[in-house]
């Protein structure tokens, strides 16, 4: 059963800090907002929701405040439509955990680092994560870059809730790649300043791209609220606006809208004309402090 507490309400973001919501809608490549990239919403809400149009603050707040919802909260009819139209399939958390464990087993050189798998679940390792002295330090682990392709709501990066059942996952039992990095930061940082430094670097180290505009928003919100959860766990206080703005900007760079076949923003026809002059998608090299074309990474 879907737990409504896991749904980030855009109205709440707007009331608490409108600047954060505006950042989460930014497309760093086009210097505009991300677009819907689907006519699903146009079919129901008409003007302003065409696939090629930008997602505006006023189109997802107020009387439209419930438009953006996690996949699991959508009706079965809508789910079937999304699967047929967009091949949209979400992965249960236990599968994400299994595959993330394979990644970590290769990095650490041993298995069952963060948890032990139990069929369709897992038992969390409650002991402090051990790092061998030398090259593979906890800081190296936090800095190691990870990418989730066609990320949807980013279930491999963060696991605030199970994307199939909609049930929230306790922070100590989360299995996303960023969850693991932030756990390591919480276990090793010896001051608030050190936590802020390495938690920021953890967020800077995870990337994901997605075609559908609503899923981009959900992925960005999930990453942001995951950071907030771990911040409160370590700091035992509310997060400041300054920190939120900084993290939101990183997320807007690292979780971006892209057609994986072209390495460009979705080429949606407007008046039956496709704008093929769109630039290649840009991402941020945070350690080099520069923006680069995503396609150049694999060249």
Please say if the pLDDT value at position 193 is more than 60. Answer: yes
Residue 278 is assigned to a structural domain of this protein: yes
Over range 169-177, report the average pLDDT: 97
- 27 with 191: CB under 8 angstroms? no
Half-sphere exposure at residue 201, Cβ-oriented, CA atoms within 13 angstroms: 18
Residue 144 is assigned to a structural domain of this protein: yes
78 confidence band (pLDDT: 50, 70, 90): low
293 by Cβ neighbours in 10 Å (0-12 / 13-18 / 19+) ranks as middle
Residue 171 is assigned to a structural domain of this protein: yes
Residue 252 is assigned to a structural domain of this protein: yes
Q: In the chain, pLDDT over 70 holds for what percent of residues?
A: 92
How far apart, in Å, are the Cα atoms of 288 and each of 99, 110, 255, 299?
A: 29, 31, 18, 18
9 confidence band (pLDDT: 50, 70, 90): confident
Residue 125 is assigned to a structural domain of this protein: yes
Task: Using DSSP, state whether 282 is helix, strand or coil.
Answer: strand
- 158 with 180: CB under 8 angstroms? no
Please say if the pLDDT value at position 197 is more than 80. Answer: yes
Please say if the pLDDT value at position 240 is more than 80. Answer: yes
Please say if the pLDDT value at position 239 is more than 80. Answer: yes
Residue 201 is assigned to a structural domain of this protein: yes
Provide the number of structural domains found in the chain.
Answer: 1
Distance CA 83, CA 59 (A): 24
Please say if the pLDDT value at position 77 is more than 60. Answer: no
Beta strand 146-148 with 122-124: parallel, antiparallel or unpaired? unpaired
Residue 83 is assigned to a structural domain of this protein: no
Reported pTM: 0.93
Question: Domain limits at 265?
Answer: 90-298
Residue 199 is assigned to a structural domain of this protein: yes
Distance CA 93, CA 122 (A): 10
- 246 with 294: CB under 8 angstroms? no
Mean pLDDT, the chain, as a whole number? 91
| Ramachandran angles phi, psi of 147, nearest 5° | -130, 130
80 confidence band (pLDDT: 50, 70, 90): low
């Amino acid at each position: 059963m879907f737990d409504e507490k896991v749904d980030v309400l855009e109205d709440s973001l707007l009331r608490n800090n409108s600047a954060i919501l505006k950042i989460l809608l930014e497309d760093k490549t086009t210097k505009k907002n991300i677009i819907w990239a689907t006519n699903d919403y146009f079919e129901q809400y008409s003007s302003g929701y065409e696939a090629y149009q930008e997602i505006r603050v006023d189109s997802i707040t107020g009387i439209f405040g419930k438009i953006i919802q996690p996949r699991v909260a959508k009706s079965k009819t809508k789910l079937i439509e999304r699967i047929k139209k967009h091949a949209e399939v979400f992965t249960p958390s236990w599968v994400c955990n299994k595959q993330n464990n394979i990644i970590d087993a290769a990095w650490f050189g041993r298995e069952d680092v963060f948890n032990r798998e139990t069929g369709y679940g897992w038992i969390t390792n409650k002991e402090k994560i051990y790092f061998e002295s030398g090259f593979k330090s906890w800081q190296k682990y936090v800095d190691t870059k990870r990418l989730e392709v066609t990320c949807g709501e980013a279930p491999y990066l963060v696991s605030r809730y199970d994307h199939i059942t909609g049930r929230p996952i306790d922070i100590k039992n989360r299995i996303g790649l960023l969850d693991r990095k932030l756990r390591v930061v919480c276990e090793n940082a010896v001051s608030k300043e050190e936590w802020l430094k390495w938690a920021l670097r953890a967020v800077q180290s995870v990337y994901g791209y997605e075609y559908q505009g609503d899923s981009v928003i959900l992925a960005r919100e999930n990453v942001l609220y995951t950071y907030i959860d771990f911040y409160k766990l370590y700091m035992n206080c509310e997060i400041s606006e300054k920190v939120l703005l900084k993290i939101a900007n990183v997320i807007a760079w690292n979780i971006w809208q892209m057609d994986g076949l072209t390495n460009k923003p979705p080429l949606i026809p407007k008046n039956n004309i496709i704008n093929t002059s769109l630039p290649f998608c840009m991402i941020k090299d945070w350690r080099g402090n520069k923006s680069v074309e995503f396609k150049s990474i694999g060249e």
